[in-house]
Amino acid sequence: MKILRAEEMRLIDGMAINEYGIPGIVLMENAGIRTVEVINEILGEIRNKKVVVVAGRGNNGGDGLVIARQLMNGGARVTVFVMGKKEELTPDTRINYEIMQKIKGDIYPLYEPEHMEKFAEEVQKAEIIVDSIYGIGFKGSLQEFEAGVVNIINSRGVPVIAVDIPSGVEADTGKVHSTAVRASHTVTFAAPKWGHILEPGADFTGNLTVADISIPRFLLEQSSLKSNLIREETIKPYWGKRKRESHKGTYGHVLVLGGSLGMTGAVSMAAYAALRAGAGLVTAAVPESLLPIVAGFRPEIMTVPLAETGKAAIAVEALPAIENLLGAVSVCAVGCGMSRYLEAKAIMNFILEKAGVPLVIDADGINALAEDISILKNRQVPVVLTPHPGEMARLLQKSIKEVQADRVEIARSFAVDWNVTLVLKGNKTVVAMPSGDVYVNLTGNPGMATAGSGDVLCGIISGFIAQGLNPQMAAVAGVYVHGRAGDLASMAKGERGLIALDLVEWLPEVLRQMEAC
C-alpha cells in the first residue's frame, strides 16, 4: 500500500476527475458513504444518536456535509456547523450545503465568536463528533478561532471521527504547530498520508481506516509513487509451504561474523534468529577464545574459531579463514558484537572486497564503515545496512536529532547515494532501496527497546536471504516479521519485561501464521 504526500494525492484526484471522467462530487459522495460505514461500526446503531459535524469551507467540508446527510437518512440526530459563508465554499461543497438546506438539515454557521456558544452547547449533547474542517491541504497553524473550535471538540470525551486527516495535522510531515483535533478514528481516502504515519500526527489520528472511494487502482500503483506501507499483503507472496523433497542445503547457509569479549550474546542471538527464520545452516565465526561460549548457546549453531587480538576481537590474521568461509555460504551477517577497535575497518574493507554473497552489516560493522564510508564502494554484491539512529548519525556525521527529524528522506537519500538497502531501525522502521523506494513498518512496540533486538533483526533478514529472498524484500519482510514477533511476545509477557530472545521464540508462530494465510 502506498503512502502519499498531499500533492501526489491531489494529482491522482485530478487524473481521476479530468482524465477518467469521475466527477469530483461522486468522489465526495463516496468519501461520505465510506465514513458513515465506519461510524456505523463504532456506534453499532446510529438511529436517534446525536452527532455533531463540523465542516470547513473546502472539499473536506463537503465530505462532512455528505456524512451529515447520510447519517440523517439513517435516523441519526445531526447538527452541522459550517466554518464559512456559503459564497466561500468550494463548488462541490456548496452543492452539498444547498442540498442540506433543501432537506431542512439542522445547519448553523461557525465563523464568528457569537456562534461559539451554540456550538459548545451542541457538542455537549453529542455522542460522536465528525471533524471535516481541514483536509490534507492544511499547513501551518490553526487560527485562534479555529483552535478554539478544536479545543471544544477535544474536551468533549466522545468518539471523534476525522475525515481524511485530523484538522491541524500537516499531511506531509505529521507536524502539529499549535493544536489539532485528537481523533479516535480517522477515515482517509485511497491511501494513507505521511501525517497519519509520522509523529506527532500519528498520535492524533487514532485508528486509521483507508477507504476506497472508486479512484482507479492503477493510479495508486504508479511506479513514480515511491513510498510504501508494509502490510501482511506486502510480503505474503514470499511465503509458502516447503516442498517435501528438500534438505537443509535447500534453505541456505548463513555466516555470522562477530563477537568480542563481553559481547558474545549479540552474535549468538543473530545466529539463533537466522535459524528460527528458517535458514538451513548457520555458522557463527568468532574469536577463538570465545568459541566455547557461543557453541554452548544453541547446539544447532555451528561454530568456527578465528584468530583474535589481545582483547579477544577478530584479528586481521583471520582474513584468509574469513575468505574461505565466504566462499561456502549463501549470505554473511557481519558486525554483531564485533566491538569498535583499530582492525575493524580493515576487516570490513576486506569482506566488502572479497564477498561473493549478499552482506547484512549491523552494529559495529556499521561503526567501522563510518570511519571511511568510501569502502562501501569496494564490492560487487548487494548490501543491507541495519543502523539504529546513533549508528546512522555516525555514518552521516550528523546528530541523532537531525537523523530523527527526517528519518524517511535521510534513509532514502543514503540508500540511493550508496546503492544499498538501508534499514533505519526505531519506531516505524524505514527500509530504503537504491531505487528510491521506501517501506515503512508499523509492527512492533516499545518493549522491543531492549538489548539484542537489533541483533535478532539482523539474523532474521540474513535467514530470509539464505532461503532465496532478494536482499531488498528480505529486509522488508524481516522488519515486519520482527515487529510482529515483538507484538505477540508483548501480548504474552507485557512490554516492560520483554527481552530479545522472546522475539526469537515467537518467530515460529509468526511464520506459521504467514504460511497459513
Tell whether 139 is in a known binding site: yes
Element (H, E) at 271: helix 264-276
Tell whether 249 is in a known binding site: no
Reading the block at residue 169, the C-alpha cell is: 495535522
Tell whether 259 is in a known binding site: no
Q: DSSP character for 224?
A: T
Tell whether 58 is in a known binding site: no
Tell whether 131 is in a known binding site: yes
Pairing relationship of beta strands 77-82 and 160-163 according to DSSP bridges: unpaired
Tell whether 426 is in a known binding site: yes
Tell whether 151 is in a known binding site: no
Tell whether 30 is in a known binding site: no
Pairing relationship of beta strands 302-306 and 253-257 according to DSSP bridges: unpaired
d(CA 334, CA 367): 11
Longest dimension (CA), the chain: 87
d(CA 55, CA 189): 17
Residue 89: CB partners within 8 Å, gap ≥ 6? 57, 61, 62, 82, 97
Query: Can you name the residues that pair with 132 across neighbouring β-strands?
Result: 55
d(CA 88, CA 62): 12
Tell whether 61 is in a known binding site: yes
3-state helix, strand, coil in the chain (%, to 5): 50, 15, 35
Tell whether 327 is in a known binding site: no
Tell whether 138 is in a known binding site: yes
Query: Can you name the residues that pair with 79 across neighbouring β-strands?
Result: 52, 106
Tell whether 427 is in a known binding site: yes
Query: Can you name the residues that pair with 229 across neighbouring β-strands?
Result: 440
Tell whether 135 is in a known binding site: yes
How distant, in Å, are the alpha carbons of 27, 216, 223 from that of 18?
Answer: 13, 13, 21
Tell whether 50 is in a known binding site: no
Element (H, E) at 192: none
Tell whether 188 is in a known binding site: no
Tell whether 214 is in a known binding site: no
Continuous H helices in 74-129: 91-102, 116-125
d(CA 154, CA 173): 22
Tell whether 455 is in a known binding site: yes
Residue 318: CB partners within 8 Å, gap ≥ 6? 306, 307, 308, 347
Chain centre to alpha carbon of residue 31:
25
Tell whether 266 is in a known binding site: yes
Q: Is the dihedral of CA 400, 402, 405, 406 positive or negative?
A: negative
Nearest partner of 385 among 406, 412, 354, 363, judged by Cα = 363
Binding-site entries for K(+): 60, 131, 167
Binding-site entries for AMP: 425-429, 454
Binding-site entries: 59-63, 131, 135-141, 164, 167, 266, 337, 388, 425-429, 454-455
Binding-site entries for (6S)-NADPHX: 59-63, 135-141, 164, 266, 337, 388, 455
